[in-house]
Amino acid sequence: MKLRTAALASLVVVVTACAQTEKATPTTRAEVIPVMVTREDVQSVAPALDRYTQTQLLGELWNRPDLSPRDRSLVTVAALIARNHLIELPYYLTLALENGVKPSELSEVLTHLAFYSGRGNAMAAVPLVKAVFSQRKIGTDQLAPASPVLLPLNEATEAQRAARVGRQFGTVAPGLVQYTTDVLFRDLWLRPALAPRDRSLVTISALIAAGQTAQLTPHLNLAMDNGLTQGQAAEVITHLAFYAGWPNAFSALPVAKDVFEKRPR
């Protein structure tokens, strides 16, 4: 992994004006300015954590062959946003761009996770993404438009999915079932600026990172239908052990095992 510095750069939202509550106007704005959680900070409170970071995490994990640095960047950014872990997010957003993730792809990841990890997680990340984009002079001309020409829909597959969900939950929450069709599978998933395979990679990363294994089976199957290999899927789980914790990774393992075993060879 290319690392421009050993320090982990981060950002903090801070308000420029120290106005009193009473005097603050609706136009008072927060500025996002770069700060650091330096390697020295970590060393000063947890020398072992620094050692694990330098050796196993940065030295080994990111260089393992089964998942590219670009994919690892998507996995990491998705996990951080899905867990509302903002302190290292700017660093990993920047690293993602350096690893070949396009600004338009990061933008789609943010929108995608508003639906798959909750709006609040996406909104909390907006100022940090904005700061990174601003720092690198990335304008909206590099992002996908709000309403692009969509990818062609596989009508047969989507009809099967809609029928299955409709049978399960059509009478329980018809509104949610309809939104799932209209907003997610006939709109969000067809936005062309993030390939379906990458959209799946982000989705399963967010699910595993948030411990939402109940929804993992269909999405891991969809990810593999979309081109994710078994070796890559296993490496996603391995990678997320470090970023989302061993328990979340281990909770994903029996689901992955079951999916791997049941898929046609």
Residues from 47 through 86 that contact its own copies (CB under 8 A)? 47-52, 56-57, 64, 66, 79-80, 83-86
For its own copies (CB under 8 A), the number of binding residues is 123
Q: Which of 28, 63, 154, 229 binds its own copies (CB under 8 A)?
A: 28
Angle ∠(146,147,149) on CA atoms, nearest 5: 135
Does 154 engage in binding with its own copies (CB under 8 A)?
no
Minimum CB separation of residue 170 from its own copies in Å reads 10
Does 208 engage in binding with its own copies (CB under 8 A)?
no
Q: Which residues contact 67 (CB under 8 A, 6 or more apart)?
A: 75, 232, 235, 236, 239
Phi and psi, residue 32, nearest 5°: -110, 115
Q: Which stretch binds its own copies (CB under 8 A): 2-10, 94-102, 150-158, 220-228?
A: 2-10
Strand partners, 30: 15
Does 17 engage in binding with its own copies (CB under 8 A)?
yes
Binding mask 85-124 for its own copies (x = CB under 8 A): xxxx------------------xx-xx--xxxxxxxxxxx
Angle between helix axes 69-82 and 196-209 (nearest 10 degrees) is: 50
Query: What is the DSSP secondary structure assignment for residue 151, as one 8-state letter?
Result: P
Specify whether the CB–CB gap between 28 and 15 falls below 8 A: yes
Does 31 engage in binding with its own copies (CB under 8 A)?
yes
**Amino acid letter for position 75:** V
Q: Which of 189, 37, 35, 190 is nearest to 116 (CA)?
A: 189
Does 164 engage in binding with its own copies (CB under 8 A)?
no
Minimum CB separation of residue 66 from its own copies in Å reads 8
Sign of CA dihedral 121, 200, 180, 209: negative
Does 150 engage in binding with its own copies (CB under 8 A)?
no
Does 1 engage in binding with its own copies (CB under 8 A)?
no
Minimum CB separation of residue 36 from its own copies in Å reads 6
Does 217 engage in binding with its own copies (CB under 8 A)?
no
**Amino acid letter for position 10:** S
Does 37 engage in binding with its own copies (CB under 8 A)?
yes
Sign of CA dihedral 84, 130, 90, 236: positive
